[in-house]
Amino acid sequence: MAIVDMNKISIIGLQKNKEEMITSLMKMGVVEVSDFIPDDQWSELVTKDETESDVATLEADLMRIKSSIEYLSKYNSQKRGLFAPKKEISTQEYNEIIQNREHIWNIVDQIAHYDEQLMQLLSEENRLNNLIATFEPWKPLTVPFDVENTKNTTVLLGVLPAIADVEKMKQNLEENVPESYVEIINADKEQNYIFLIYVNSLENEVMTLLKQYGFAKVSFNDFHGTAQENINKARQEIEKIKEKRKEILEHISVFAGEKEKLEVLYDYLLIQKDRKEAIGRLAHTNNVFVLNGWVPRELSEKVEKTILQKYDCIVEIKRPEEGEEFPVLLRNHPLVEPFELITEMYSLPKSTEVDPNAAMAPFYFMFFGLMLGDAGYGLIMTIVTAIILKKYKTEGLMNKLLKLGCLCGISTFFWGAMFGGWFGDFPSRIGITNDKIVNGIWFNPVNDPMKLLIWSFVFGAIHLFVGMGMQGYNLIRKGKIWDAVFDVGLWYVFLIGLVLFGVGKGVLNDIGKYMSIAGAVGLILTQGRSKEGIIKKLFSGVLSLYNTTAFFSDVMSYSRILALGLATGVIGTVINTMGSLFGTNVIGIIIFVIVFIGGHIFNLAINVLGSYVHSSRLQYVEFFGKFYEGGGKAFQPLKIKTKYINLKNEEDV
């Protein structure tokens, strides 16, 4: 449906033109360069450039520049917004910056040097803070840490576990070693801090007694003065570190105006890295190189003509062989394109199968709106995303995501108006009595949930039937017309017949009965056709009817539309009720506004996420499960990719 056809492209060119040709291909941006894998015929004739070390060096340089850019971002007064486009610069500006890149590298080196200093200062500050934490419990001790033992006595510091009976320890020490002195300096949840003096000759008796209580020595041999003096000294050192850090950060901030130049250099190196990686995929002899790749079929002639005009080379373009996989490039209608995000999160289609986006998009659009189901929320989503799309030149993933949000907002607005959801029951809170607004143009699911449940099953059955139709289309594309008739057509007859027989009346009931009988007979006779023997064929055919339960089980999954739709409306109503509790006086109105805004922002955020997840789940499990295989490889052309800048003119890149 929307998978762009690809051609193989092979180029044999002069070795001296290799880098220039790679640059030309990057500017074209439409050729994917494949790894050249030599076969037996080529293996002895060609070699491949070893570019891994060059790529690794460029990646390391990119990391260095990125780190510097992140540093300078803190000091840049012109912050780049979330949706701000890349900065556009002319080729002349670009070339001037690149020609003076030694100056930029000097800035990067200086920032790296300052960063190393900051890390050392941080390490030292952490060490000092740890010392302060160690000294804190000893603050009441007025004896210096470096107090020396005398000829006959020993001064000792230590700790006891918090669970130890300190008073009993002191009593035992006084009774058994009276030639000693012990003082409890401090205590916390973990330990008791002990100061001890004893006669040297009684050390064994003292230690034996203390060990019974879990005593452990503490030594501060490298420190002089009291605990408080050491804490003060450490704090002074920390203040000096803070001053030093401030000076370094001021030095770094001087480079803030150079940030854009660093971004240009970053993108320059990014382009060089991509170029080197592409060269590493080629094979060459001393005089020529060989390039293999893929190009969109519609651009093949133009690419061939452009290359042959510029270079002396051989270009061969041919179609892929029957059944050969090629890189996948999707091209859909602008209204369908945003929904490619949903499929890509699951898996790209293989090049040999159907792109499901055109069939999936209307259902995702509808299910999201049904699940969120509040016109007020839909209006906010649509307006906000539309303003961003209008104001900012968004690209790539962000552009698709915003467009998806805008379309889903439109769906939400539509179904919210149909169901009477306007920020919950807000219209009735402010006195609006119009039935079409309060109870919806169609009906209000809060008042009639069974009606929404039935319609959810109806929409689900249609969704599943379309999935089965996609399966039939795949079979027809592969030339398996009878398989499409037997494996899809007969199921249509049987299932539709069952539905008409179950819910229809009169003639419809009769039609449904005969359709279901005809479909069942057809399935029994055909679903076992791959088996050997008439008995196995019929038995497999009978067993295939059991898949009816799987179909109706899948239909039950669509009850989540009701669940999420009701959740949005009920939570919105609860928020309005909470806000209204304080009456209609000034304070009550202020509280209502605060609760209304905060509550509905929360309700919108949580239910947008729920609608996104569950709408996707219905596509992945129920819909894709009927026909979709996936596993395709995305088309990744060699092109100029940048992170920070866009060139107004990409010549001389």
pLDDT at 385 over 50: yes
Residue 49 or 132, more confident = 132
pLDDT band at 652 (very low <50, low <70, confident <90, very high): very low
Of 50, 30, 47, nearest in space to 38 by CA: 47
Give me the mean pLDDT over the 13-32 stretch.
Answer: 92
Q: Fill in the amino acid letter for 626.
A: K
pLDDT value at residue 77: 60
Per-residue model confidence (pLDDT) at position 536: 80
Looking at residue 76, its pLDDT comes to: 67
Report the C-alpha gap between 578 and 397 in whole angstroms.
39
pLDDT in tens, 84-97: 778 888 888 888 88
Confidence of residue 374 (pLDDT cuts 50, 70, 90): very high
- How many other CB atoms sit within 10 Å of the CB of residue 50? 8
Q: What is the pLDDT of residue 236?
A: 95
Q: Is the pLDDT of residue 176 over 90?
A: no
Structure tokens at 289: 């190189």
State the pLDDT at residue 42: 62
**How high is the pLDDT of residue 422?**
94
pLDDT at 206: 87
What percent of the chain is predicted at pLDDT more than 70? 96
pLDDT in tens, 244-276: 999 998 888 888 888 889 999 999 999 999 999
pLDDT of residue 38: 66
- Structure tokens that stand for 384 in this block: 């906000």
CB atoms < 10 A from the CB of 57, how many? 13
Residue 44: per-residue pLDDT = 64
Q: What is the percentage of the chain residues whose pLDDT exceeds 90?
A: 53
pTM given for the model: 0.82
Query: Which of the listed ranges 24-28, 77-81, 148-152 does the model predict with the highest average pLDDT?
Result: 24-28
Q: What is the mean pLDDT of the chain?
A: 89
Helices (H), 47-198: 52-73, 91-99, 101-135, 166-176
Task: Yes or no: say if 86 and 392 are a contact pair by the CB < 8 Å rule.
Answer: no
Res 36: pLDDT: 79
Residue 570, both tokens: 């009920």
**Residues forming beta bridges with residue 317, ordered by sequence position:** 9
Confidence check: pLDDT of 1 > 60: no
Place of tokens 């790209």: 348
Query: How many of the other CB atoms lie within 10 Å of CB of 393?
Result: 12
In this predicted structure, the answer to whether residue 434 has a pLDDT above a threshold of 90 is: no
Of 629, 625, 621, 623, give the one whose Cα is nearest residue 352. Answer: 629
pLDDT at 80: 65
Give 81's pLDDT tier (boundaries 50, 70, 90).
low
The reported pLDDT for the residue numbered 79 is 62
Render pLDDT for 134-159 as a digit per residue (tens, 0 to 9).
999 999 988 888 887 888 898 889 99
**What pLDDT digit, counting tens, does each position of 568-614 carry?**
999 999 999 998 888 888 898 899 999 999 999 999 999 999 999 99
Min mean pLDDT across 217-231, 384-398, 428-442, 526-540 is at: 526-540
Q: Can you give the C-alpha Rg of the chain in angstroms? A: 38
What residues form DSSP beta bridges with 34?
292
* Cα separation, 350 vs 631, whole angstroms: 6
Is residue 635 very low, low, confident or very high in pLDDT (cuts 50, 70, 90)? very high
Is there a contact between 338 and 404 (Cβ–Cβ < 8 Å)? Answer: yes
- Amino acid 653: pLDDT: 39
Q: What is the mean pLDDT of residues 441-461?
A: 93
Residue range 376-398: average pLDDT? Answer: 91
- The pLDDT of residue 306 is above 80: yes
Using pLDDT thresholds of 50, 70 and 90, give the confidence band for residue 40: low
Domains by residue range for the chain, with CATH: 146-219 (3.30.70.2750), 347-481+553-627 (no CATH)
